[in-house]
Amino acid sequence: MKRADFKNAKAIKRKRLSRSFFVRPGKDKAYGGRSVKIAENLLGKFVVRRIGGKKISGRIVEVEVYAGPKDRAAHSFGGRITPRNKVMYQRGGRAYVYLVYGMHWQMNIVTGGKNEPQCVLLRALEVPEEGKSASGPGKLCRYLRLDKSFHGEDITSSDRLWLEDRGEKIDQKDIVRAKRIGIDYAGHYWSSRRWRFYVKGSPAVSRK
């Protein structure tokens, strides 16, 4: 490697997202507002999964906000606390991983402070591997090889799962705001909230 190349390689910014990204001070302007902001800010960040000496990563291009206890589509609706969702009540920065439809894992990131049960679902990544796909929450977990053992993982300190800022800032005009997928059971008010965000034009976005 030439000296200049080495310098360039070192110059690529890879900063792990820390607690302050997931837990933000202040009050929400609208219900779930801070988590909406976090969701938008997650676009363009990278998920990194370390398996032994190997790293798998992907660029986040699609997310959804779930903001209990008012949100009928969220597991925390009504303030329910169950073995499955109790991690949502912890301080932000942890993974909420669970099985849907008896066969697909989904990964959420807990946002907000203690006893503020909110989270952001990761729905799609752009991945470098030819032929591989992470377009959809189930496929994303299959790609990253995530399962129940990651439930509750603190992604601000874990050595096998974390998020990175690599210096990209998605412009507001490139963020599409849409209705969440697969939650029609939550009733018109909640299913019509535009709490799904994706990067305009990304080929990896699910259900375009």
The residue ranges that bind DNA (CB under 7 A) are 64, 66, 73-75, 80, 82-85, 96, 98-104, 106, 108, 119, 121, 136-140, 180-183, 185, 206
Closest distance of CB 5 from DNA, Å: 38
The beta strands (E) that lie in the chain are given as 15-16, 46-51, 54-67, 95-100, 104-111, 118-126, 134-135, 161-165, 175-178, 196-199
**Shortest gap between Cβ of 183 and DNA (angstroms)?**
5
CA 178 remoteness from chain centre: 16
Shortest reach from residue 18's CB to DNA, in Å: 22
Burial of 181 (0-12, 13-18, 19+ CB in 10 A): middle
Can you read off the two tokens belonging to residue 142?
Answer: 């299959």
- Residue 79 or 128: the one with the smaller Cβ distance to DNA is 79
Nearest to DNA of 80, 160 (CB atom):
80
Residue indicated by tokens 């210096």? 167
Contact 61, 148 (CB under 8 A): no
Closest CB to DNA among residues 26, 139? 139
Token pair listed for 116: 């503020």
Instruction: Tokens for 33, please give them.
Output: 């507002």
* Shorter beta-carbon distance to DNA: residue 80 or 166: 80
Closer Cβ to DNA, 57 or 108, answer by number: 108
